[in-house]
Structure 1
């Protein structure tokens, strides 16, 4: 009985020794799975990639949404020129313009698909200002894009007043 027991104990010991030697020598033949270190390295790499990729993607999406607001302002500019040709003045509200309903009693602002509120301000005989605004993040200022057209600047282009308004920050998102 003891010899049978010793044989079993010896085989178990031999099996453990062979696995240890295989692991220690770097040849993991017969061993399956991943070590804790390998898993932790993989998780760390994925966390670093996520910390870089997510803010970059969010900023990309925000810039795309902002470009929609810029296009709306360019439509305001074209429509204002048409309105001026027809009436000798610029439209006082955005709803008077063809691209935004062509009904002056409809309202004073237009909401784009991406959530920017577009409106015409300070319209007169030879000048007008149009703004698109949206609060993107609570910790950042309101994103305002402005287009000011005067007799001296008929080829004006929209200007972003607060570029930092659409910048996503993981640190501000977590710690504020």
Structure 2
């Protein structure tokens, strides 16, 4: 009587593990790059919300807001604060008003230090409104070579 063994040999098992390892080594960096790209929409959403708040503020005051405040709206007396969160909707970016006047402003979404987007190659996002025109750009020096506003926005 012949006895037949069924199953995998050690060589077959090692080949399967090697193939899985190679696939994982290719897929994981691609996946993390995709996730970082998807999280950039958090910066965009936060900046666009802040931009809308600035335009509403300007409709009621003589200039654009120069600061963000959690609860206190002020329009005059040397204090120009609008009520808006200083964090993007998902919390991956910190929002700020870099500069503002009666006719122009610059808004910035800065990557959270130690956060999920800390190593994003696109860097920090900015919206600049000047001379009646809006431009979307990256903060100078905050991004990697080969990345620009056209590829990141």
Partner in structure 2 of residue 131 of structure 1? 108
Matches within 5 A, 1:10-21: none
Give the greater-gyration-radius structure (CA): 1
The total of aligned residue pairs comes to 133
Q: Report whether the alignment pairs 1:38 with 2:12.
A: yes
Gaps of 5+ in 2: 75-80, 146-153
TM-score by length of 2: 0.70
Q: Once the 2 structures are TM-superposed, how far is the Cα of residue 102 of structure 1 from its aligned partner?
A: 5.9
Is the Cα contact below 8 Å between 1:92 and 1:122 reproduced in 2? yes
| Alpha-carbon distance between aligned partners in 1 of 2:32 and 2:53, rounded to the nearest angstrom | 32
| Alpha-carbon distance between aligned partners in 2 of 1:147 and 1:46, rounded to the nearest angstrom | 44
Partner in structure 1 of residue 127 of structure 2? 147
String of CA shifts for 1:82-108, please: whole Å, max 9, x gaps. 11111121100133xxxx656357999
String of CA shifts for 1:95-131, please: whole Å, max 9, x gaps. 3xxxx65635799971232331100111011110011
Partner in structure 2 of residue 71 of structure 1? 45
From 92, 96, 111, the equivalent of 2:87 is: 111
Gaps of 5+ in 1: 1-10, 20-29, 166-176
Task: List structure 1 segments (4+ residues) > 3 angstroms apart after TM superposition.
Answer: 100-109, 135-138, 160-165
| Change beyond 3 A, Cα 1:159–1:83 | same
| Alpha-carbon distance between aligned partners in 2 of 1:65 and 1:52, rounded to the nearest angstrom | 21
| Alpha-carbon distance between aligned partners in 2 of 1:55 and 1:90, rounded to the nearest angstrom | 42
Cα RMSD over matched residues? 3.2
Matches within 5 A, 1:47-62: 47-62=21-36
